[in-house]
Each structure stands twice: as structure tokens, then as C-alpha cells.
């Protein structure tokens, strides 16, 4: 009969802490840390090691006695996100362990970064130390690092009055009365909508007003996935609609049909708000809805 392997569980722990000497180089680094300064030590090759080490990890040579102040800000070179901090971790909320190359240093030190709810800390993020009020000469004299301030929210309010041109006023009067007013250029014969007083094609003044039907054809369209106060729901469709008898399309919403069913060449008709609710504005048209007629070849 096979027997279970014999096991015994142990814990190796120094509950009061394990006292060790630092040596002159790491001791200097920690003493400077207690004074709120971040210092690096120079190698014979001129590189600055932070945290300070007694030997250059690249060559094995002893470092020089030359010290330089670095940071306090630095750049994240790599990180790992901690979703569920352990009791022994420096922060009690999700954070990142990061490699941080302090300004002026050639190596990176490992420390915790409190990046809020971002759930990731991309390389290149600029961070600064958050110091503890009481310092003892330990790497935890820096409570953690925090990203530099890169954006603020500022309230904006601009009050302004928009004055409609005589031609736009005329067009909106038409829209109030349930008619799209276009105009015909006497020179190039093109019919434009909205109504205007000069031809955008040939530049000639226009005087002939042309009432247009409220039916047309979708020429191009876009499906929008961001909410808009004018749209019935998300996703919604905004489209260029060529009104019948017009030579250029105008932009409007398309409704009364799922967004993915809208197509080029689809026949549509304006859906007007009730007459008693109409104003001198384009909001008199809720949107354009399919007429059910066969699609048109564009
Ligand atoms: Zn013209």
C-alpha cells in the first residue's frame, strides 16, 4: 500500500526584525533618504547608481566616492499592477510595483506607485516621491510614488448670441412652416438648400426662392456611437440627404430604423414635430425616416 510522503510545515520569521549593517555606501544612501534627499553614487565609468551599490553591477569594480543628487521626479520604465494588495504591501489599495529611473540616474529603483483607479501604469509615466513625515533611514521613508499632475478639469461657460443672416432667417421661417426653402441660381441653374443669397458655384446673386419637398435620398451617412442631445438613441445615424429637386445634400439625423439598416440610396421623409411646438429652428425636424419606397441608384 503506497504511503503518503511525510511533510512538515515551518515558518522562518524574525518577528522583531533582523538587524544587519549597511556598509558605508548603502548607509550613506539611507542617511540621505532620512534627510529627504535622493542621492546616487558614481561608478568609475561615470554612471550614477540609484539605489546606491558598493560595486558597479556592470563591471564588478568598486564605485567611486562621488555622490550626486538625483530626482526627486523620475520616469517609469516598467511596472506590474497589484489588484489585491497583501497586508505587507505599502498601500492598502490597488497599486503598481514600478521600476523608476530618477532624473539624473542611470539605473532604476523599485517602488510602489499609487496610480489611482487607472489599473495600469504605462512606461514613460512621470512620477514623484510622497515622503513620510517621520523618516528613519529606510526605503519606506518614501511612502510611495505618485504620477505627476498632467491634467485638470476647469469649468467653462461662454454666453454668446448667434445672429442669423437674412437668408438663414428666411430658411428657418420656411422650416417653421414645414417647408424646406431652397434657391435656384439664375446663371448655373443649380438648386441649393438651405436658401442662400449668392451661388457657391458661380458666385452670382440669387433671387429665385424654390420650395422643396420634404422627401429625399440618403447619399452618405455615419453611425455615431457617442450620445448626442439631439439624437433619439445610441447608436444613431447622421446622413447627407439629397432633397428631391435639390442639387446639393443637407445634413440631418436618420431615425425610425435600426442604425445598421441605413444605406446609401435609401428614400426618406422628414418627421416634423407637431405644428404648435415649432420654433424658428432646425429642431422642428425630429429626423428623416424611411418612406418604404425602393432604394434609388445614386
Ligand atoms: Zn450659379
Q: Which three cell numbers stand for residue 3?
A: 504511503
The Å distance, Cα 264 to ligand 1 centre, comes to 27
Give the contacts of 180 (CB within 8 A, at least 6 positions apart).
171, 174, 193, 194, 211, 212, 213, 214, 243, 250, 270
Binning pLDDT at 50, 70 and 90, where does residue 86 land?
Answer: very high
The Å distance, Cα 205 to ligand 1 centre, comes to 8
**In angstroms, rounded to a whole number, what is the distance separating the alpha carbons of residues 172 and 280?**
5
pLDDT in tens, 115-166: 988 888 999 999 999 999 999 999 999 999 999 988 888 899 999 998 889 9
The Å distance, Cα 200 to ligand 1 centre, comes to 7
The answer, yes or no, to whether residue 242 has pLDDT greater than 90, is: yes
The Å distance, Cα 170 to ligand 1 centre, comes to 20
- Which region among 153-167, 221-235, 248-262 has the lowest average model confidence (pLDDT)? 221-235
The Å distance, Cα 34 to ligand 1 centre, comes to 80
The Å distance, Cα 208 to ligand 1 centre, comes to 12
The answer, yes or no, to whether residue 258 has pLDDT greater than 70, is: yes
β-partners of residue 101 are: 75
The Å distance, Cα 196 to ligand 1 centre, comes to 11
β-partners of residue 68 are: 40
The pLDDT mean for the chain works out to 92
Q: What is the value of pTM for the model shown?
A: 0.54
The Å distance, Cα 184 to ligand 1 centre, comes to 8
Q: Which residue has the higher pLDDT, 172 or 13?
A: 172
The Å distance, Cα 192 to ligand 1 centre, comes to 9
Amino acid at each position: 500500500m503506497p504511503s503518503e510522503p511525510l511533510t512538515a510545515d515551518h515558518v522562518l520569521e524574525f518577528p522583531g526584525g533582523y538587524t544587519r549593517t549597511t556598509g558605508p555606501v548603502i548607509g550613506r544612501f539611507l542617511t540621505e533618504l532620512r534627510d529627504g534627499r535622493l542621492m546616487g553614487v558614481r561608478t568609475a565609468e561615470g554612471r550614477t547608481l540609484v539605489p546606491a551599490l558598493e560595486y558597479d553591477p556592470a563591471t564588478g569594480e568598486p564605485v567611486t566616492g562621488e555622490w550626486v543628487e538625483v530626482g526627486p521626479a523620475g520616469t517609469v520604465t516598467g511596472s506590474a499592477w497589484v489588484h489585491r494588495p497583501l497586508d505587507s504591501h505599502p498601500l492598502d489599495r490597488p497599486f503598481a510595483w514600478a521600476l523608476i529611473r530618477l532624473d539624473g540616474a542611470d539605473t532604476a529603483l523599485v517602488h510602489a506607485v499609487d496610480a489611482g483607479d487607472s489599473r495600469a501604469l504605462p512606461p514613460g509615466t512621470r512620477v514623484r516621491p510622497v515622503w513620510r513625515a517621520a523618516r528613519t533611514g529606510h526605503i519606506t521613508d518614501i511612502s510611495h510614488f505618485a504620477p505627476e499632475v498632467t491634467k485638470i478639469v476647469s469649468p467653462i461657460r461662454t454666453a454668446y448670441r448667434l445672429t442669423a443672416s437674412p437668408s438663414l432667417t428666411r430658411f428657418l421661417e420656411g422650416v417653421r412652416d414645414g417647408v424646406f426653402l431652397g434657391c435656384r441660381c439664375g446663371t448655373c441653374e443649380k438648386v441649393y438648400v438651405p436658401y442662400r443669397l449668392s451661388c457657391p458655384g458661380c458666385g452670382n446673386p440669387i433671387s429665385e426662392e424654390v420650395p422643396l419637398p420634404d422627401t429625399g435620398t440618403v447619399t452618405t451617412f455615419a453611425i455615431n456611437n457617442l450620445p448626442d442631445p439631439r439624437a433619439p438613441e445610441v447608436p444613431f445615424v447622421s446622413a447627407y440627404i439629397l432633397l428631391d429637386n435639390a442639387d446639393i445634400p443637407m445634413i440631418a439625423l436618420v431615425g425610425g430604423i435600426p442604425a445598421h439598416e441605413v444605406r446609401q440610396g435609401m428614400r426618406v421623409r422628414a418627421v416634423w414635430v407637431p405644428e404648435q411646438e415649432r420654433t424658428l429652428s432646425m429642431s422642428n425636424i425630429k429626423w428623416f425616416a424611411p418612406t418604404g419606397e425602393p432604394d434609388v441608384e445614386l
